[in-house]
Structure 1
C-alpha cells in the first residue's frame, strides 16, 4: 500500500499503457464520467504535451494532481521491476500528488479509470509493486477516510 501522508512527501503512481491503448483527453474524460460520475477534469489538455498540474473536480471540490507523460523504456532503467514485469513498452502516465487527501483521491481514482478502461497497469515506485484496481480503490478510500472528522 502506498504511504499516503507524513510531511512534505510526494507520491507517484505510474500507469503503463500500450501506445495504441493510451487515451487522449476526451477518451479519458468520457471514461471518467462513465465510471466515476463524481469526478471530471476541469479543462481539456493535450496529454501528449501536457506536463504539470491537471485539475479535476471530485465531489464538487476542485483538486487535481501533477501529470507527466513518460517513455516506459526510460523508466525501466530507473525501476528494474518495470522491465521485469514487461511494462517497458508504450507510454507511462505519471500521476503525482503531495500530502493532500483530495489530490490522493483524484490521482487514485484517475489511475483506476486508466487501468479499468484502457488496460493500464498501475505501478507504485515507492514500494516497487504493481497495484490492482482493488489497491487503488483502497488507497482512495483511505484518503477519503482521512477527510472525515
Structure 2
C-alpha cells in the first residue's frame, strides 16, 4: 500500500533542488536532494540524503489545478494558480522521513499547505515537522 502527501505552493516557479537544499540548510533540516536538475519535470524516484544516509522518495510535480477534484477545498489554496508536489512511499521508513523533511522545508520556506491523503485532512507545518523529527528518532 502506498501513501501520499501533497504540498501545495502558491508559486509561479517550481523551486530548484538547489533552492530546496539551501533552505534545508538554513532550517537545519538534515536533507540534501542529490540531483541539481530543475524539478519541473520530476516524475518518479528522487534520490536524496537524509542525515547523511542515502534515501529518496517518489516525487511528482505538477499544476495544482489537477487536484481540484481529488482533495477538498481549502480557503488558503487557489488551485488554479498553484503548484503541487506529491510525495509517495510504501512501507519504507526512510522514504517517509525523506518525504516529511522535504515537505517541512517546502512548507516553512514557501508557506505551503499540506494534505495527507491517508487521513483525508490538511496538516500544519508544525505537524509535518513533529512527524519528521519523531520518525527520524525512531530510525536511529
Structure 1: unaligned runs, 5 residues or longer: 1-8
Structure 2: unaligned runs, 5 residues or longer: none
Residue 111 of structure 1: aligned partner: 103
SS at match of 1:122: strand
Q: 2:132 aligns with which of 104, 125, 140?
A: 140
Question: In angstroms, what is the RMSD of aligned CA positions?
Answer: 1.8
2:20 is the counterpart of 1:46: no
**Aligned pairs, number:** 138
- What per-residue deviation string (whole Å, max 9, x for no partner) do you get for residues 76-127 of structure 1? 1122x1x344522311111111111111111101101100001111111222
2:113 is the counterpart of 1:125: no
Q: In the superposition, relative to structure 1, how do residues 86 and 73 fare at CA in structure 2: closer, same or farther (>3 Å)?
A: farther
Residue 24 of structure 2: aligned partner: 32
